[in-house]
Amino acid sequence: MTYAFRAYEYWLASYRRVWRGTIFSTILNPVLYLSALGVGLGKLVNRGHQLGVPYLHYVAPGILASTAMLIAAFESAWPVMGAIRWTRQFHAMLATPLRVRDVLLGHQLYALTRVGIASAIYLVVIAAFGAIHSWLAVFAFPAALLLGWSFSAPIAGLSGWLNREEGFNALFRFGVTPMFLFSGTFFPVSRLPQGIREIAYATPTWHGVDLLRGLTLGTASLLPSLGHVAYLAAWVGGGLWWARRTLTRRLVS
Amino acid sequence: MGSQAPLIHARGLVKRFGDLTAVAGIDFEVGRGESFGFLGPNGAGKSSTMRMIGCVSPRTGGELSVLGLDPDHDGPAIRARLGVVPQQDTLDMELTVRENIVIYGRYFGLSRRELKARADRLLEFVQLDERAGSRVEPLSGGMKRRLTIARALVNEPELLLLDEPTTGLDPQARHALWDRLVRLKQQGTTLVLTTHYMDEAEQLCDRLVIMDRGTIAEEGSPAELIRRLSTREVVELRFAGEPPAIEESTFNGAVARVEALPDRVLLYTDDGDALVPVAHERLHPQSVLVRRSTLEDVFLRLTGRMLVD
Ligand SMILES: Nc1ncnc2c1ncn2[C@@H]1O[C@H](COP(=O)(O)OP(=O)(O)OP(=O)(O)O)[C@@H](O)[C@H]1O
Ligand SMILES: [Mg+2]
């Protein structure tokens, strides 16, 4: 693990050059989203009273989840391929005592750091908008990390596997963006037509959103929540296993 | 080498990528304090061999020990004591010169305080101290290469692996780099390098192997190889049109060997000057040049091809 922290330091050093810009948008984005969707769009949506809570309160954990997912997906895509091909920093690391697993974990720690910073800010903003109903919301932070990890791990695997960065366009167009829109983030999955609905239920995003929503609204019950956690953890485990394989093939051949 | 165990020992070392055999069973040993070279053309298997020594590429077959350890089992322990200058730079262009060294030193678990001192010392050594705070991106190729060498020295390695340290650099930058490497050698660092420049091999290597298509063709010191496998001098003839057919017998035993290349004919002899008038008289070349034999001639003799084409 100490080896992984050495790799993590590299990512922190390169993040240090750009963090100011990202912090600004990380604070601004939730404020904008919650104002536009929660308050603005919410005025229309709330008329139906079908959600049981104000739309702002409903959508806030969805926005948190999609942000965790997007940051994690992004950080495991281009930066990982870059460390293989462009900066070749993974090759530099592997010429030292670091091993593939250290290189992988060091980067995952960094991706989760990015997810963690954004999630913490979002939670504060969500609380400021009055959208937190329960002390259970303290668990929303680790839950957001877990959701992020369920993306960052397998996408690191994909980055090791892909031969060209064009593959990421497909990933985001046909994978991440639909999940962002249709996995219970902005409206209940039950509104989706049958067939599509089942797909939505299978996405890690839906499990993350449902978990987070239960925690911020205080409606979570133990077993389903543990189920979500187990499902997301399975993506993490499978993703790490695959990533180690693809990165080994790519870097140590 | 004496009674000391070799730093690197390879027997029947093989590397395959699918159907392609990059290294086809090679034997070599490198002793402590030695400067050892792999000389060979593109695709000879030099980098594949270096990557196996550097424990970033598992061997397909044969024996390999580095610093007395087995790369298959002790990769991290071996790499902790190696310095690696890969063929392709792995510097982070966005970070500064100094940051590149410090971050790399952290991979070895060195403290930041220690690294600050080492970075100063190393940057001075490679004459980059004035650029310590600048980003890597705008540096010249030669500077980047020197930075890579400084970085490779951050863990005070016993063994420095240099894969084509000066390829792509202009002559001045190459000489600056050679100068640093000679210094390291004098300080007792064991150097293993690959190159396809014969002058580099002659400058830097105590001993070298000539590699071609995954095998080792010959081994020895540069002078010894030249002595053993070539003549003392070479007469190069260039012709205006099609060169005439030339045989060794044309010169009554004064020429040991004739090599006809696309653009010139080489006559291998022990006394070039004596041959010049004869060559003029009998062959009417456009130009004649007498030079000493080099490793290039050795390579040509062994493989029938030139090193750099
Ligand atoms: N990772 C790899 N996957 C597949 N083939 C490879 C790989 N690395 C090297 N090869 C092949 O192995 C052979 C030897 O390559 P290697 O890089 O060892 O040669 P080299 O002597 O270093 O050449 P150069 O002077 O061009 O650097 C080449 O045919 C090369 O294409
Ligand atoms: Mg090479």
pLDDT tens digits, one per residue of A127-172? 999 999 999 999 999 999 999 999 999 999 999 999 999 999 999 9
Asked whether B20 lines ligand 1 (CB < 6 A), one says: yes
Residue B108 to residue A251, Cβ atoms within 8 A: no
Distance CA B12, CA B23 (A): 9
Average pLDDT over residues A109-119: 97
Kindly state the average pLDDT of the residues B2-31. 92
Cross-chain Cβ contact B79/A97 below 8 Å: yes
User: Are B49 and B119 contained in the same domain?
Assistant: yes
Is residue A133 within 8 angstroms of chain B, CB to CB?
no
Q: Is residue B40 part of a domain?
A: yes
d(CA B232, CA B230): 7
Mean pLDDT, residues A206-221 = 96
Is the pLDDT reported for residue B71 higher than 90? yes
| Mean pLDDT over the full length of chain B | 93
For the stretch B147-206, pLDDT in tens is 999 999 999 999 999 999 998 888 988 998 899 999 999 999 999 999 988 889 998 999
Helix (H, G, I), strand (E, B) or coil at B159: strand
Residue A215, both tokens: 């925690």
CA distance A172 to A181: 12
Residue B302 lies in a domain: no
Contacts of B79 in chain A (CB under 8 A): 95-97
- Mean pLDDT in residue range B204-215: 95
Task: List the structure tokens of B44.
Answer: 């000879």
Mean pLDDT of B85-103: 95
Report the domain count for chain B: 2
Q: What is the pLDDT of residues A24-75, one digit of tens each?
A: 888 888 888 888 887 788 878 777 667 888 999 999 999 999 999 999 999 9
Q: Which of A9-18, A194-203, B236-245 has the lowest mean pLDDT?
A: B236-245
Q: State how many domains chain A has.
A: 1
Q: State in Å, rounded, how far the first CA of chain B is from the last one.
A: 35
Q: Which residues of A touch B92 (CB under 8 A)?
A: 10, 14, 87, 89, 92
Q: Please check whether residues B76 and B144 belong to one and the same domain.
A: yes
Give the model's pLDDT for residue B2.
Answer: 46
Q: pLDDT digit string (tens) for B221-237?
A: 999 999 999 999 999 99
Residue B195, domain CATH: 3.40.50.300
CB–CB contact A97 B77 (8 Å): yes
Query: Mutate which of A2, A93, A94 to test chain B, going by most B C-beta atoms within 10 A?
Result: A94
pLDDT of residue A22: 83
ipTM of the complex: 0.91
**Amino acid type, A40:** G
- Which of ligand 1's atoms lies nearest the C-alpha of B87? 27
On whether both B19 and B127 belong to a single domain, the answer is yes
Order across the sheet with B8-17: list the strands.
B20-30, B8-17, B61-66
Q: Which residue in the set A2, A88, A95 is minimally distant from B79, CB to CB? A: A95
Sign of CA dihedral A126, A127, A130, A135: positive
Q: Work out the average pLDDT over B48-56.
A: 98
Facing residues of B216 across strands? B211
Q: What is the pLDDT of residue B196?
A: 86
What is the DSSP pairing of strand B159-163 with strand B82-85?
parallel
Instruction: Give tens-digit pLDDT for B250-274.
Output: 888 889 999 988 889 999 999 999 9
- H or E stretch at A217: helix A204-217
CA separation for the pair B49, B54 (Å, rounded): 9
CB B231 within 8 A of CB B293: yes
Q: Give a yes or no: residue B159 inside a domain.
A: yes
Do residues B48 and B194 share a domain? yes
Q: Is the CB of B45 under 6 A from ligand 1?
A: yes
Strand pairing of B8-17 and B190-195? unpaired
| B214 Cβ inside 6 Å of ligand 1 | no
- Out of B192, B221, B250, pick the residue that ends a domain: B221
Q: Does the residue B117 lie in any domain?
A: yes
Q: Which residue of B has its CA nearest to A88?
A: B90
Q: What is the pLDDT of residue B282?
A: 87
pLDDT of residue B1: 44
* Partner-chain residue, chosen from B80, B99, B109, that has the shortest CB–CB distance to A13: B99
B22 lines ligand 1 (CB under 6 A): yes
Q: Do B256 and B184 share a domain, yes or no? A: no
pLDDT for A36: 87
- Pair (B133, B46) in one structural domain: yes
Task: Give the minimum alpha-carbon distance from A6 to chain B in angstroms, rounded to a whole number.
Answer: 5
SS3 category, B275? helix
**CA-to-CA distance for B101 and B5, rounded, in angstroms?**
32
Which residues span the domain enclosing B254?
Answer: 231-292
How many Cβ atoms from other residues are within 10 Å of residue B300's Cβ?
21
Q: How far is the CA of B23 from the centre of ligand 1 (A)?
A: 9
CA distance A47 to B60: 69
B120 in the same domain as B249: no
pLDDT of residue B309: 59
Is B108–A96 a contact, with Cβ atoms under 8 angstroms apart? Answer: yes
Other C-beta atoms within 10 Å of B302: how many? 15
- The ligand with the least distance to the CA atom of B20 is 1
Which residues in chain B have their CB less than 8 angstroms from residue A91's CB?
56, 86, 88, 90
Residue of B nearest to A87 (CA): B92
Q: Which of A15, A89, A96 to mutate to test the interface with B (most CBs of B within 10 A)?
A: A96
- Looking at the structure, do residues B199 and B247 belong to the same domain, yes or no? no
CB atoms A92 and B104 under 8 Å: yes
Asked if B56 lies within 8 A of A2 by C-beta distance, the reply is no
The residue behind tokens 């133990």 is A222
Using CA coordinates, name the residue in chain A closest to B16.
A253
Integer Cα distance of A219 and A217 in angstroms: 5
Mean pLDDT value of segment B82-105: 96
Query: For B78-105, what is the mean pLDDT?
Result: 96
- The residue contributing the CA closest to ligand 1 atom 29 is B43
Q: Which helix (H) or strand (E) holds A9?
A: helix A2-16
Which three-class secondary structure state does DSSP give residue B287? strand
User: How distant is the Cα of A245 from the closest Cα of chain B, in angstroms?
Assistant: 15
Domain of A102, in residue numbers: 2-251
Q: Are residues B100 and B198 in the same domain?
A: yes
Is residue B305 situated within a structural domain? no
B70/A contact by beta carbon, under 8 A: no
